[in-house]
Copies of this chain bind each other. A is one copy, B any other.
Amino acid sequence: MFLAKVYITLKPTVNDPQGLTIRGALHNLGFTTVQEVRAGKFLEIKIAGEDQEKARVDVENMCKKLLANTVIENFRFDLESIKQG
């Protein structure tokens, strides 16, 4: 059993209206030192099996096919072995 932690972020050149909105709200709350906010996604995926290399390839393909829009987003992930349960 493996746990993949997937981080999906907008590419640096892509506009991030959600991040701008969050920055505005933080400024309104008095956090005026905030320069920039970039919003992204974080996914935890549990995968059955014993073959770490297969799991790694699977997560890579999941990101490319479904989880990330690779035109505008980057992704990276960590894979760790966990106990069943």
Interface residues of chain A, those whose CB is within 8 Å of chain B, are: 1, 7-9, 19, 22, 25-26, 29, 31, 33-49, 55, 58, 61-62, 65-67
Q: How far is the CA of A49 from the CA of B32 in the complex (A)?
A: 11
Are B43 and A40 touching (Cβ within 8 A)?
Answer: yes
Assuming the A-B contacts A31-B62, A67-B22, are A36 and B45 also in contact, with contact meaning beta carbons closer than 8 angstroms in the complex?
Answer: yes
Stoichiometry, copies per complex? 2
Query: Distance (Å) between the CB of A24 and the closest chain B CB?
Result: 11
Are A9 and B67 touching (Cβ within 8 A)?
Answer: no
Collect the chain B residues with CB atoms within 8 Å of residue A31's CB. 58, 61-62
Query: Distance (Å) between the CB of A35 and the closest chain B CB?
Result: 4
Q: How far is the CA of A7 from the CA of B9 in the complex (A)?
A: 12
Are A46 and B22 touching (Cβ within 8 A)?
Answer: no
